[in-house]
Amino acid sequence: MLLIALLACPLLAAGLAAPGILARASVARAGAALSGLAFLLSIVLAGRVLAGGVVSFGPEEFLRADGLSAVLLLVVTGVGFVALWFGEGGARPPAAGAEGGAEPGRRYHALAGLFLFTMLLAITVNNVGVMWVAIEATTIATAFLIGLHRSKAALEASWKYILIGSVGIALAFVGTVLAYFNFVQRVGGTPYALHWTVLSRVAVLLDPDVTRLAFVFVLVGYGTKAGLAPMHTWLPDAHSEAPAPISAMMSGSLLAVALYAILRFKVVVDACLGTAFTDRMLMLTALLTLAVAALLLTRQANYKRLLAYSSVEHMGLMCLGSALGTAGVIAALLHALSHAAAKSMTILLAGAIRDRYGTTSLASVRGLLRVMPWTGALFAAGILALLGLPPAGLFLSEMLLLRAGFTAGRTWVMGIVLTLLAMIFVAILTHLNRMLYGEPPEGTSRGDQPGRLLPLGLNLAVLIVLGLWIPGPLARLLGRAAEIFAP
């Protein structure tokens, strides 16, 4: 019943946003409270996984959470809690040129609850087909959220997201269908044939060639949702136009959920073919993703797009870690936790900066530390954390990832990665320095809202703790997740 309660929290939040049930201010508080409850339930579930290995519900474990699911649940619910606590997001007045004057607050909270629900379902359901439906449903919910204020730029970004995301999810569907018919042809009609647990048990009987082809479709399809190059092109537009809390949830958790789907297929494919094929595919994709991010970050003029391309970079690092054995998987999952904390914090702060300066242009934001001292300091801390500087958790995860690569004998790959990371470091640090200092534009009001920044203390605490010390229970949970990928 723990899994049912977890899924019920965002669904209830979405239902309470319906007109005539609660006042809008109460809807916002209820959404934040229920997302907080979901986060607490995820922590309890992680403890149950550590104690018993798997938490399940329904016939043939229809809902199922193991170590990998538990880590992703912490990511999704943690980011959702902070994002919905930080601010309503949808209550921001429509941008200049927006069409339609309808107050979008209730619609925002209903869609945000559905978005959170679909992500949670994708990482707790044991069925490949239902997981595909859940990830497709995230596209529907977020597309409406991206175009919430109906400005021309927002609607263009929403349509681009729908078109590219739909192509990607269609390719993932082809991979899923190939996997199913491969199973039926080689094993025969078996109940629950699309359950991960069933597929993993019979993977050695599957046709190798069809399995390879299925994984290619899955990697390209779900890689589109994960922001992996060259299928990443929707991400900068969508993230620059979405309300800041939704953008934080997309970067901090949705991309990781899409990578989760790839990793689940990797387990099945590895059982059939060995690890060499999937590792090679993931490694090449990761290097391409990092190269694209490095090139685009050097000549960026929009700080929200800058953060979007930073997400592309970090998804490349997680993809790379997934190709480096169990040590690499541990580093990738630790990176996912730290990236979720750092990226959601910086994107939420970027939303506050946009509200104050009225622009997302890097050239127009100057003197941030003078205009918004606390916001500027936290924004700088988040960017430095994303660059992998100690004592942030991303420093530790990147060091573990590099060690896993060198230990695995991938010296030339790690050399390329270090070169690309150096390029990214210089580019982002240069942009940050220009934002923090200089003369602010005339007429820019000064001062922070300290109370609004309070929820970001959770992000900062996570980053510092994971940079200095990995708590024992978390280390064991990461070990449980990595065991799934052991040959």
Place of tokens 């595909």: 132
Write down the pLDDT at residue 103: 54
**More confident call, 188 vs 433:** 433
Please check the confidence at residue 96 and state whether its pLDDT lies above 70. no
> Would you say 214 and 221 are in contact if contact means Cβ atoms under 8 Å apart?
no
Please check the confidence at residue 358 and state whether its pLDDT lies above 50. yes
Percent residues over pLDDT 70 in the chain: 96
Write down the pLDDT at residue 296: 92
For the chain, the residue count is 487
Per-residue H/E/C for the chain: CHHHHHHHHHHHHHHHCCCCCCCHHHHHHHHHHHHHHHHHHHHHHHHHHHHHCCEEECCCCCEEECHHHHHHHHHHHHHHHHHHHHCCCCCCCCCCCCCCCCCCHHHHHHHHHHHHHHHHHHHHECEHHHHHHHHHHHHHHHHHHHCCCCCHHHHHHHHHHHHHHHHHHHHHHHHHHHHHHHHHHHHCCCCCCCEHHHHHHHHHHCCHHHHHHHHHHHHHHHHHHHCCCCCCCHHHHHHHHCCHHHHHHHHHHHHHHHHHHHHHHHHHHHHHHCCHHHHHHHHHHHHHHHHHHHHHHHCCCEHHHHHHHHHHHHHHHHHHHCCCHHHHHHHHHHHHHHHHHHHHHHHHHHHHHHHHHCCCEHHHCCCHHHHCHHHHHHHHHHHHHHCCCCCCHHHHHHHHHHHHHHHCCCHHHHHHHHHHHHHHHHHHHHHHHHHHCCCCCCCCCCCCCHHHHCCHHHHHHHHHHHHHCCCHHHHHHHHHHHHCCCC
Sign of CA dihedral 84, 87, 90, 96: negative
Write down the pLDDT at residue 192: 81
Six token digits for residue 28 = 């916002």
Percent residues over pLDDT 90 in the chain: 64
Please check the confidence at residue 381 and state whether its pLDDT lies above 50. yes
Write down the pLDDT at residue 294: 94
**More confident call, 407 vs 159:** 407
Q: What is the mean pLDDT of the chain?
A: 89
Please check the confidence at residue 98 and state whether its pLDDT lies above 80. no
Q: What is the pTM of this model?
A: 0.93
| Confidence class for position 99, pLDDT limits 50, 70, 90 | very low
Torsions phi, psi for 402 (to 5 deg): -65, -40
Write down the pLDDT at residue 101: 38
What region, left, alpha or beta, does residue 47 occupy, with left being phi > 0 and alpha being psi -120 to 50 degrees? Answer: alpha
pLDDT digits (tens, 9 = 90+) for 68-95: 999 999 999 999 999 998 865 433 433 4
Six token digits for residue 200 = 């993993």
Write down the pLDDT at residue 97: 39
| Confidence class for position 420, pLDDT limits 50, 70, 90 | very high
pLDDT digits (tens, 9 = 90+) for 174-185: 999 998 888 888
Write down the pLDDT at residue 254: 94
pLDDT digits (tens, 9 = 90+) for 215-256: 999 999 999 999 998 888 888 888 878 888 999 999 999 999
Please check the confidence at residue 404 and state whether its pLDDT lies above 70. yes
Measured CA to CA, the distance from residue 140 to residue 147 in angstroms comes to 11
